[in-house]
């Protein structure tokens, strides 16, 4: 009897630990080889055949096709530079310059990776669309309210993800964190 209870106990612990860890891994971006610059994180290896099992599981679960490394590289941000979660009810500004690439795009998704409906049907900016300052830097305001300049509407969703994608770029697996890759800052300006 004791043996039976003991076995059941151990198996229950195994199931809870194993499945719990798998669930956590799939919902928390745990793939190896992350490249973190400020608020931005990229997994360049996810777009190659060297994608690790965690990256493969995440690709299968979400149902997306990762951007191949020879095509481009994706950086994602769920928080601002201070680690505060991006909130669609706040005004968030993205300011600065980007690493060298032929084109880049900045897109806002909800947590499911879907575009967010808004009054002006703007879901992204491309490097060509964005209005720049005299020195070549840019400022994009991510906000639920209409803004002058480069306004990326949030549609008021509570949480969102920003994806900054660089196409035809040297940024990739060999890129180290630090100064060689200038990324725009993400700052929460004001919350209602």
Partner 1 sequence: MIRWLLLLLGGALLGGIVHLATIIVLPRTATRDAYSRLTSIAPVNTVISLPEPTPEKSVMPMMDPAFASAICRYDLSQGPMKLTVPISLAYTSVSFYTDRDIAYYAINDRSAGRRAIELDLMTAEQHGEMPEDEEITSADRLIVESPTTKGVIAIRALAPDPGLMPMAKRAVDAARCQHTDLAKGAN
Residues 144-183 that bind partner 1 (CB under 8 A): 163, 165, 167-168
Among residues 59, 84, 151, 156, the one that binds partner 1 under rule CB under 8 A: 59
Residues 60-119 that bind partner 1 (CB under 8 A): 60-72, 102-103, 105, 107, 109, 112-117
Q: How far is the CB of 190 from partner 1 (least distance, A)?
A: 26
Count of residues of this chain found to bind partner 1 when the rule CB under 8 A is applied: 60
Residue 5: count of CB within 10 angstroms of its CB: 9
Indicate whether 123 belongs to the interface with partner 1 (CB under 8 A). Answer: yes
Choose the stretch contacting partner 1; rule: CB under 8 A; options: 19-27, 35-43, 138-146, 181-189.
Answer: 19-27
Which phi and psi (to 5°) does residue 37 adopt?
-135, 110
Q: Tokens representing 15? A: 């199931």
Nearest to 42 by CA among 129, 130, 162: 162
Nearest to 41 by CA among 52, 53, 33, 51: 33
Please answer whether residues 160 and 109 qualify as being in contact, where contact means their C-beta atoms are separated by less than 8 angstroms: yes
Residue 172: count of CB within 10 angstroms of its CB: 17
Give the footprint of partner 1 on this chain (CB under 8 A).
Answer: 6, 9-22, 25-26, 47-49, 51, 53-54, 56-57, 59-72, 102-103, 105, 107, 109, 112-117, 123-124, 126-129, 163, 165, 167-168
């Amino acid at each position: 009897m004791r043996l039976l209870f003991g076995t059941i106990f151990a198996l229950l612990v195994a199931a809870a630990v194993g499945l719990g860890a798998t669930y956590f891994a799939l919902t928390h971006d745990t793939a190896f080889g992350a490249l973190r610059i400020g608020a931005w994180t990229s997994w360049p290896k996810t777009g190659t055949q060297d994608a690790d099992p965690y990256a493969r599981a995440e690709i299968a679960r979400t149902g997306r096709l990762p951007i191949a490394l020879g095509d481009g590289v994706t950086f994602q941000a769920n928080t601002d530079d201070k680690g505060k979660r991006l909130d669609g009810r706040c005004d968030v500004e993205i300011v600065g310059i980007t690493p060298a690439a032929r084109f880049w795009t900045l897109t806002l998704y909800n947590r499911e990776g879907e575009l967010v409906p808004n009054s002006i049907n703007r879901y992204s900016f491309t490097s060509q669309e964005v209005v720049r300052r005299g020195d070549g830097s840019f400022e994009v305001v991510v906000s639920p309210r209409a803004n002058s300049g480069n306004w990326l509407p949030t549609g008021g969703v509570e949480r969102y993800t920003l994806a900054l994608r660089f196409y035809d770029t040297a940024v990739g697996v060999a890129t180290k964190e630090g100064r060689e890759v200038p990324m725009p800052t993400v700052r929460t300006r004001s919350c209602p």
